Each structure stands twice: as C-alpha cells, then as structure tokens.
C-alpha cells in the first residue's frame, strides 16, 4: 500500500487577503483598537487572532465609535457606506484595504454610469463584494448567472451594456459569455474581472481532481471561492472532503485512512484551500494526513497567479470579439498595457490613499502600491499629507510580481534631493534646518529630507560648550562635505556665521549715525562700562551712561548676555570705535529736580556718605548735594560724623544751584536764624589764603570754601 498526498501550489491566502490581514494587524499594534467593517476574511481562527490584537468586528458604520480607526476590508464598500463612515470619523482614520482588483471593478462601474451606459454585475447580490460594486452607481443591475441574465434583460436590447463579474466566480461563467456579442444587444462590453488567483486555484483543483482518488478542500462554507473549489472537486473526483479546519475534517480523514489500510490500496489524495485559509492551517492538515496515512508528499509545480487575465481590460473598455480568435484578442489586450520593470520611473494617478499605503493606476495589469514608508522621507508627514486621489505621482518601480507593482515616491524624491544638495555645496549656498539632536560630537539637522551632521567645532559654540540650547532651533549652515555612497553630509555653521557677521558689520558702518537706536547684547562688563554688540560691532557704554542712579560698578546694572537698548553718542569709522548711551533722556533726574526745587527752598534729605569736608545728601534718586562741614551745624564741629550719620534724614536749605555743572550746595546751619544783636562773638573774617575744595555732583567731588580763624 502506498499513499501519495499532492498539495496544490496555489492553495491559501491570496494577495488581497494576505495584504488585508497584515495591514489590520499592523494597524492594531499602532492604534491599540481598530474596527473592521464586517469580518475581514472568511476564517474564524484568523478573526479570533486579530481580535486578540485589538481588531474589533462591527456590522455597520453606526457601531463605529466617534473618531475611531476603521478598516474597509478587501471586499470593498459602497460609496454611501464610505460617506456614513466620514460622518463618524476623519478621513485619515479610514484604512481602506479594498483589494486593488476589486477597486478596478469599482472604477469600471463608475465610468460606465457616467458615460450613460448600463452597468451589469454577474454575481451573488448578497455577497459583500457585489454589494460594494453595486454601490458605486445607482443604475447597477445584478444577475446571479448567465441564465438569470438572459431571462431578465430583454428590455436592455437597445442599451449599451458594460458587464463585470464577481472576482470569486468560476471561470466557466465567463465562458458562457464568449458568444454574447452574437446576441441582439447593442455593443456590449465585457470585462473579465474574475480574479486570476481564483482561476488558477480552480484550474489546479480541477486538474488534481481528475488524477486523485480523494480531494481535501479547506475553506469556510461562507467563502464563495472555497465553495467553488469544493463543487469543482466533487464534480471530477470520487470523494471530496470540505471543512474550514482540521477539527472539522479529522474524523472523516481517519475513516478514509482506515478504509485505505483495510483494503491495502494505493491512493492519491489532493489538497487545496480557499483564499481565506492560512498557511498554518494548511500545514496542520498536511502534517496530520502524512502521519495518519503514512503518506508521501509530492509537491505540485508552482502555479503563478497573474493579476489579471489577458482579456481583463482594467478600465480600458474592450468590446467582446466577434470574429477574432481568443489568442489574437488576448495579444491585443496585452499590448494595450504598460510593462513595469524594476528600477525605472513611471507616472501614475492616485486611486486611493490610506495610512498604510497609496494605490496608484500606472497603466499596468497589476495595481501599483506605494507603501507608507516609501511615500516621503519626512517622518513628520503621513501619506494623506502628501497625496490625494486624482493626483499625478512620479515613482520608481521597486519590485514587480504577478499581482502588484511596488513603487517608491521617496526614492525618486531622494534622487532630486541629493541633486539639490550637491548643487548647494558646489555654489556654497546658505541652507537651513532645525536642530533635532545634540551630543558632545555635534548636532544633527536635515536638509531636503537628508540627515546633516554638524561637528561641535563647526557649530559656533566654544569648545566644550553646551550644545543643547541649539535644539529645536532653525539654523543656517553651509554644506561642506557630501558622500552619497555612505549617505553622509557634513555641515558648518561657523562658515555661515562669519559671512553673515561680515555682511552685518558692513551694513552697520554704512548706516550708523549719532542718535540712532539699537538693541544689542552685552558681550563683556568692565569697571569703566559695558561692551554691547549692536550687529557685529561692539560699542562701549561708559559707566556714567549706564544709569541715572549713582552706581559704583557697571555690574550693578548689567551682566554679560543681557539685551540692552542703546543709542549712538559718537563713532569713529577709522578707529572702529563707537560710544553708546543707555540712559533715556526722559529719565534724567536733574530735569525733575530743576522743576521741583530752586535756591532758598527747604527739603528733607537723606545722608548717603560722609567725608572729611562734609556730608553728601540725596534730594531725590540720582541727585545729591553737599552739606559742607561748616554748614552742618550752628557751631564748629571737627567731623561731620559728630552731627549726622549715613541713613539719617535731615532738613536742609538749598543755598546754591549750578545748572551748568549740576552742583548743589546744602546747609543745615542756614536754618538757624540768629539775630545779629544776640550773637556773643564777632563774625569771622575770611582768610586771605583760603583753601578751596571743589565738589562735582556727578563725580562725587565737591566745591566750597573753608575758613581759617584769625588767630
């Protein structure tokens, strides 16, 4: 006894199903919870696994939470359903996984209706795919098969018909329409939209059925393509076993194994599976059968699954041939398509955009797909930010297979980007970018989507200085080195800084004038003032120009790094010197004093300093006067400290004001009014050789006259 198991090479997930399952799992990992509008595939085990990841199945748009992420499965949906989803969430939250082959049917139906033709769908009107197709135009008519169509379309004799087919139908249905053009309908146009993956699966199932004693068909009873496989196998094979998983068919398989063993027969068993069956489920059944039957596995030659048949026009209408043979017709249709080759550039039209990919019509049999990470080099943007349905897009072809052309917009964008980078380096053109990383070695930015490294020594920051303040700031730089092969770009800020500084300095000296105001940065502070950068040139603000208040050190007013409003007092272009002022004229305390006081007025003052020749008193902030020691009391004193102390508030009389030199003489003694007849001594006479002391209110020096005794 020998048992041979022959598994079909075309069994299991088709492109559309594999794409949908993978994208749904990825979306669940990214968003936590996503909602599939209807069961993603006809496979309960896969649905349960996706549910564990966070893919929740809902039956209608009303069940979608507001703002939720929703998946349109590979069957596609009617336009009205899409509108209902938009009422509950943003367009960017709709992940459209409609199979590209189904999307092509949607396009055919919409264009047919716009042209005033009659769209006709051959398929099960209750099937999700057919409902989605019918929902593309209000005028669609649906018929189950050729007989149903012929029995109900007499009234359409004089109307142009566009006929499409449910993708999972048997290829035999299409054959029934081969002679349709000979009927009395007006210019019918037939589109072979039956998925070639389905055709290949059916053809292989038929071939195996004819040479096998038993056929095992894996698939859900709710799957149209799986039921079609089972019907084909039943027709051509003596016994067919049908079930979704091993647990459903293991009993029947064991019974067959016992029968084979009892009769010591030589048996060949075929194994195929529908498009919604995972490779794991197929392997599980195959291993069980190998052990149960003690069988040998004989692999089938690989069957390719082209995206569309030769007769599929993919939206380019093709009238059914009347006299032309099939081979010639197929050749004509093939010739109408563009051939995509890896490495070349193509221009297509965007059909649909989702978070995971962009579907593009590039004029080939296959659908063009741009994965999300191939749309743009900018990590901050999603496909929806870059492209929209109807946009023309130029792409590189990355890979080509029977069902899909994988494209990249990013790589073409990169080619253009590198060209501009090399040009910027050659022309020594200033470019800019935002600093995104900083470490001891330098900082990282980007230009035209490419990473640019700026060494610490070229950032303009002092050696060993902190680079983190540069983070998230737009920075101008030059491109110094480019290595396309290693994808390395080196930039420099110092070069651009030097050029900018020279330009600013030249402009400053061309426009400077006395009285002109600037806002500058304090670069250093000394005992005699502060140096301020007003645009590439440092000017000096003398300590006397920093404040109207009396200060002993400039650091009392400013520190390095401060922003300071200044004005030009004088400048010397030859010596490159600029004198600046900071004190605002309207803040001059002397002007306030002059309005408030005059000679002879009395005032309450505060003692701020004592000296050998008297005491300095503050009349108001910024205005001091001198009380000479001879005027500090109505009697002779040795030191001012014998009468007053710093901080004391005393009453004085203003005895003299020098407006030009801004000097004020004060007297306490003048407040004592002693009649001459009451004096007990003669007035002192002024010495011929009187010592003179000068007091400058601005420089903390005094002027007045001392008196010597006649003795």
Residues with catalytic function: 129
β partners of residue 474 = 434
Residue 9 burial class via C-beta count within 10 angstroms: exposed 0-12, middle 13-18, buried 19 and up: middle
Which residues lie below 8 Å from residue 466, measured CB to CB, with a gap of 6+? none
Three-class SS state of 485: coil
DSSP code of residue 672: -
> Which letter does DSSP use for residue 470 in this model?
G
How far is it, in rounded angstroms, from Cα 190 to Cα 178? 9
Cβ atoms within 10 Å of 281's Cβ, excluding its own: 20
Strand pairing report for 437-439 and 488-492:
unpaired
Specify whether the CB–CB gap between 451 and 444 falls below 8 A: yes
**Residue partners of 327: CB distance under 8 A and separation at least 6:** none
Q: Which residues, including other chains, have CB under 8 Å from residue 203's CB and lie 6 or more apart?
A: 171, 303
CB burial of residue 317 (10 Å; 0-12, 13-18, 19+): middle
How far is residue 306's CA from residue 320's CA, in Å, rounded to a whole number? 21
CA distance 608 to 649: 10
- Mode of pairing for the β-strands spanning 34-37 and 55-58: parallel
**Helices and strands: H and E segment counts in the chain:** 16, 36
Residues 6+ apart with CB under 8 A from 324: 332
Both tokens of 165, joined, read 């087919």
Question: Which among 485, 437, 473, 443 is positioned nearest to 461, based on CA atoms?
Answer: 443
β-sheet bridge partners, residue 55: 34
Q: Which two tokens stand for residue 554?
A: 């400039």
Would you tell me the crossing angle of helices 15-31 and 100-114 to the nearest 10 degrees? 100
Q: Give the span between the Cα atoms of 452 and 471, in whole angstroms.
A: 14
Query: Pick from 318, 357, 93: which is nearest to 193 by CA?
Result: 318
Query: Whole-angstrom Cα distance, residue 192 to residue 273?
Result: 23
- Determine the Cα–Cα distance for residues 170 and 16; give it in Å rounded to an integer: 18
75 Cβ partners below 8 Å, 6+ apart? 38, 98, 99, 102, 127, 128, 129, 132
Q: What's the number of CA atoms in the CB half-sphere (13 Å) around residue 40?
A: 31
Is residue 530 within 8 A of residue 564, CB to CB? The reply is yes
List the beta bridge partners of residue 358.
353, 370
117, 312, 313, 323 from 182: Cα distances, Å: 19, 20, 20, 10
């Amino acid at each position: 006894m020998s048992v041979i198991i022959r598994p079909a090479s075309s069994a299991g997930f088709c492109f559309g199903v594999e794409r949908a399952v993978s994208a749904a799992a990825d979306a669940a990992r990214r968003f936590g919870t996503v909602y599939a509008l209807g069961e993603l595939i006809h496979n309960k085990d896969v649905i349960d696994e996706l549910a564990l990841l966070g893919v929740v199945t809902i039956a209608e748009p009303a069940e979608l939470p507001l703002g939720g992420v929703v998946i349109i499965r590979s069957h596609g949906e009617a336009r009205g359903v899409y509108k209902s989803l938009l009422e509950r969430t943003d367009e960017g939250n709709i992940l459209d996984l409609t199979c590209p082959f189904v999307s092509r049917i949607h396009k055919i139906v919409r264009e047919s209706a716009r042209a005033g033709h009659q769209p006709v769908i051959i398929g099960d009107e209750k099937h999700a795919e057919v409902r989605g197709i019918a929902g593309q135009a209000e005028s669609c008519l649906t018929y189950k098969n050729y007989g149903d169509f012929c029995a109900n379309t007499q009234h359409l004799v004089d109307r142009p018909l566009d006929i499409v087919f449910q993708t999972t139908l048997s290829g035999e249905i299409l054959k029934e329409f081969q002679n349709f053009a000979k009927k009395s309908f007006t210019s019918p146009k037939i589109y072979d939209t039956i998925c070639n993956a389905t055709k290949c699966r059916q053809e292989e199932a038929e071939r195996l059925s004819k040479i096998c004693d038993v056929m095992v068909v894996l698939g859900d009873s709710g799957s149209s393509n799986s039921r079609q496989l089972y019907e084909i196998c039943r027709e051509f094979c003596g016994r067919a076993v049908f079930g979704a998983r091993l647990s459903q068919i293991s009993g029947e398989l064991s019974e067959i194994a016992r029968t084979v063993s009892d009769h010591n027969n030589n048996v060949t068993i075929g194994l195929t599976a529908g498009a919604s069956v995972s490779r794991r489920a197929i392997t599980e059944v195959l291993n069980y059968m190998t052990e149960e039957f003690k069988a040998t596995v004989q692999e089938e030659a690989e069957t390719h699954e082209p995206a569309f048949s030769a007769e599929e026009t993919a939206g380019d209408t093709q009238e059914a041939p009347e006299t032309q043979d099939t081979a010639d017709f197929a050749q004509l249709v093939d010739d109408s398509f563009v051939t995509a080759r890896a490495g070349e550039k193509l221009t297509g039209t965007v059909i649909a955009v989702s978070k995971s990919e962009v579907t593009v019509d590039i004029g080939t049999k296959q659908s063009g797909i741009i994965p999300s990470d191939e749309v743009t080099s900018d990590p901050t943007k999603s496909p929806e930010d870059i492209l929209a349905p109807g946009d023309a897009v130029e792409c590189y072809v990355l890979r080509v297979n029977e069902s899909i052309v994988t494209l990249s917009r990013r790589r073409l964008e990169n080619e253009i980007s590198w060209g501009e980078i090399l040009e910027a380096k050659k022309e020594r053109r200033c470019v800019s970018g935002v600093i995104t990383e900083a470490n001891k070695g330098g900082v990282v930015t980007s230009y035209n989507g490419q990473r640019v490294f700026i060494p610490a020594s070229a950032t303009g920051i002092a050696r060993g200085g902190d680079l983190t303040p540069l983070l998230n700031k737009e920075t101008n730089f030059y491109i110094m080195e480019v290595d396309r092969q290693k994808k390395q770009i080196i930039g420099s800020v110092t070069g651009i800084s030097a050029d900018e500084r020279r330009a600013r300095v030249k402009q400053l000296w061309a426009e400077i004038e006395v009285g002109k105001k600037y806002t500058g940065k304090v670069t250093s502070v000394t005992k005699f003032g502060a140096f301020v950068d007003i645009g590439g040139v440092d000017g000096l603000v003398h300590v006397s120009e920093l404040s109207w208040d009396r200060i002993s050190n400039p650091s009392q007013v400013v520190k390095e790094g401060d922003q300071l409003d200044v004005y030009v007092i004088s400048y010397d272009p030859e010596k490159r010197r600029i004198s600046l002022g900071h004190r605002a004229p309207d803040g001059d305390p002397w002007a306030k004093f002059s309005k408030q006081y005059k000679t002879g007025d009395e005032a309450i003052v505060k003692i701020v300093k004592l000296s050998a020749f008297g005491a300095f008193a503050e009349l108001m902030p910024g205005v001091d006067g001198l009380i000479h020691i001879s005027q500090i009391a109505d009697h002779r004193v040795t030191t001012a400290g014998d009468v007053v102390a710093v901080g004391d508030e005393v009453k004085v009389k203003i005895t003299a004001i020098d407006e030009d030199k801004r000097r004020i003489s004060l007297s306490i003694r003048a407040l004592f009014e002693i009649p001459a007849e009451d004096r007990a001594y003669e007035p002192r006479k002024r010495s011929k050789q009187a010592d003179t002391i000068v007091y400058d209110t601005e420089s903390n020096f005094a002027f007045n006259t001392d008196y010597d005794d006649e003795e």
